[in-house]
Amino acid sequence: MQTGMNDVFNDTDTKLFHWAVSSRWREKKMTSAARKITMKGIRCIGGCNVTVEKKKLGPLVYWSDTKSWVTKKLPVAGETVEILPGVNMVYDLPGDSPIFKLIIINGRLSFNNPAKPVDLHLRAKHIFVNIGELFIGTEEKPFTAKAQITLHGEQAADSIVYNGAIEAGNKAISNIGTIKMYGTKRVHMSRLRAQVSKKDKAILVETGLDWKAGDKIYLAPTGHNYLNSDYAEIVSYDTKSGSIKIKEELKHNHFGDSESTASKLSGIDRRGEVVLLTRNVRIEGHDTDGWGGQVVTSDTINTSGQMQSGLLEMDNVELYRCSQRDTFKSAIRFEGAMTSKHKLHGVVAHQGLGWGMFIKSSANIDLKNSSFIGFHQTGVTIDASQDIKMVGMNVMDVKSNSDRLKTVGGIEKEACVANCSYFGTSGCKNVSISHSIAAGCVYAGWVQPGHKCGEANTNFANNVAHSSSRMGGYFYADKGAGQSACVEASLF
C-alpha cells in the first residue's frame, strides 16, 4: 500500500486482507517452531522507495526567512518539514528549534557557519536524508560554533523503513543520501601521568592539550575489575603542567606514571587512558523512556530501479545517549551500505543504551582515532562486511545486559569488539584492525578471527586489551576464509 490510498492509521482501524501460503511441512516433518510466521506492519516515509527526482541546487535560502517556504510561514512544532529537490537551505535558527515530527531532505540542508560563530540546535523526532544532503561544516572549513541535533521520541513511536528489507526504526537520522559533518578537531586521548585514587578531584595528563573547562572526559579502568570506569567534567586545565581539576570525586583508582611503561613491558603503555568525550558538533538522543537515538546509513533501490547510495562522513562529531536497548539499532549503524566510501575520524559515541556501532553487510568504511565508550553487549560489531579499516580506536566500558546471550559455535557474543562473531564466523573479508585499545570489556576485548598457523598476520596488529572480565582476546578459526583448526594471533 502506498501513501494516498486513504488508509487510516490509528488504534481503532481494522483492515482485512487475504494471504495464502503453500508448504510441505508435513512431508518435511517441520516442527511447530519452524512453521511459525511472524507478520509485522511497517509504514514507510512517503511510500516505500518512491522515486524523487533530483534537481540542480538553487541559490542559498535561509530557514529563518518566511520567503524560503512554500507556505510563506516558518515550520512549527509537530509538523513534517521537507527540503524540496533543488532547494539549498541554510539552517540558521539560533537557540532551540521547535520539535519537528519529521524532516525529509531531498535538497540540501546545511548548518550556518558564519565568521562570527552562532550556536544552533535542531530538534526532531526523525530526520530522513533521502536524495538530499545534510551538511554541518566542511573538511576545508569545520564548524566553529556548537551544532547539536537532538532526536526526540519514545520506544512506542512508529518505526519507519525506507525499503522492505531494512528498518530504520524510530528516533533516528536515516540516511540513503549524503551526510557530512565536520567539527573542530580535538586531541582525542591522553595518558595519566600520575596515579590517582578514589575520591580524588584532580588528575595529571599530558601538557599542551586543547582541553578546557566544561569538557567531559572518561578514565578507563587499569585494574582487574572491568567495571571500574570513571566519567568526569573538567573544571580547569593547566596547559603547562597538565593538571586537571574535575567537578566530582573519582569513584575508582587508576594507574598513572610520568613516563610510558612501553620500554619495560614489551611495548605496552600501562598508564590509564583518558579520553575526551566532548565535540562541538553533537547528536543526542533525548532522555525519554530510556530510549536512545541512532544514525543509520544504507543503500537502497527506488521504484525506478535506480540505486541510491547512502554516504556518511563524520569528523570530530559526538554522539551521546544514542543506541536502543535490546535491539541491533546502535548509535551508528551501517546496514547494506556497500557502494560509497564512508569515513569516521575523531568521532566519539558515549553512554548509550545498547550497541555502539553495528556494521552489517557493508563495505568501504574508514575508522580512525574514534571512540565507542559506555555501551552494552558490544561496543563495535561487524557482520558480513568487507574492506573495513580501524586504526587508533578506543572501545571501552562495555557492560553485559541482564539477560545473558547464548554463544554461537562456542564463541561468546559479548565483547568490546565482536568481529564477524556475533551472528556466525564467516562472511567478512578484509577487515583490518590496528593500534587500537579495548578496555573495561565484558568477557573479552576482542572476539576476532585469527590467522593460519605459520602465516603472516595482516589484519590484526599492534592492538591492546586490558581490564576485561575474562580475557583480552578470543581468536577463532574462520572456516569461511579457509582457515583450519590451527589458528594463532600475533602482534597483540
pTM over 0.85: yes
Q: Which residues pair with 300 in a beta bridge?
A: 308
Short-list 439, 470, 475, 479, CA closest to 460:
475
Conformational region of residue 14, where left means phi above 0, alpha means psi within -120 to 50, and beta covers everything else:
beta
Q: What b/e readout covers 184-194, taking b as 16+ CB neighbours within 10 angstroms?
A: bebebbbbbbb
Grouping H, G, I as helix, E, B as strand and the rest as coil, residue 266 is coil
Q: What angle do CA 73, 78, 84 make, to 5 degrees?
A: 55
Instruction: Work out the number of other CB atoms within 10 angstroms of the CB of residue 96.
Output: 13
Rounded Cα distance between 251 and 230, Å, is 7
- Side-chain-facing half-sphere of 396: CA atoms under 13 Å: 31
Tens-level pLDDT at each residue, the chain (492 residues): 344 344 444 445 555 556 666 666 566 566 665 667 766 555 554 445 567 888 999 999 999 999 999 999 999 999 999 999 999 999 999 999 999 999 999 999 999 999 999 999 999 999 999 999 999 999 999 999 999 999 999 988 877 775 555 678 899 999 999 999 999 999 999 999 999 999 999 999 999 999 999 999 999 999 999 999 999 999 999 999 999 999 999 999 999 999 999 988 888 899 999 999 999 999 999 988 879 999 999 999 887 788 899 999 999 999 999 999 888 999 999 999 999 999 999 999 999 999 999 999 999 999 999 999 999 999 999 999 999 999 999 999 999 875 544 445 556 678 999 998 888 766 789 999 999 999 999 999 999 888 888 887 788 999 999 999 999 999 888 766 666 668 888 778
Rounded Cα distance between 161 and 406, Å, is 29
So what's the pLDDT on residue 19?
A: 63
Rounded Cα distance between 443 and 123, Å, is 37
Whole-angstrom CA distances from 22 to 38, 150, 212, 410 are 16, 47, 66, 36
Burial of 346 (0-12, 13-18, 19+ CB in 10 A): buried
So what's the pLDDT on residue 480?
A: 60
So what's the pLDDT on residue 411?
A: 62
442 touches 398 (CB < 8 A): yes
For residue 416, what is its C-alpha cell?
Answer: 568490546
474 touches 447 (CB < 8 A): yes
Rounded Cα distance between 286 and 317, Å, is 17
Rounded Cα distance between 398 and 375, Å, is 5
Strands 386-391 and 415-419: unpaired
One DSSP character per residue, 88-141 reads: EEEE--BEEEEEESEEEESSEEEE---SS---EEEEESEEEESSSEEEES-SSS
So what's the pLDDT on residue 404?
A: 47
So what's the pLDDT on residue 406?
A: 47
Whole-angstrom CA distances from 450 to 133, 263, 329, 475 are 40, 27, 28, 5
Grouping H, G, I as helix, E, B as strand and the rest as coil, residue 66 is helix
So what's the pLDDT on residue 4?
A: 39
Q: In which residue are the cell numbers 566519567 written?
A: 231
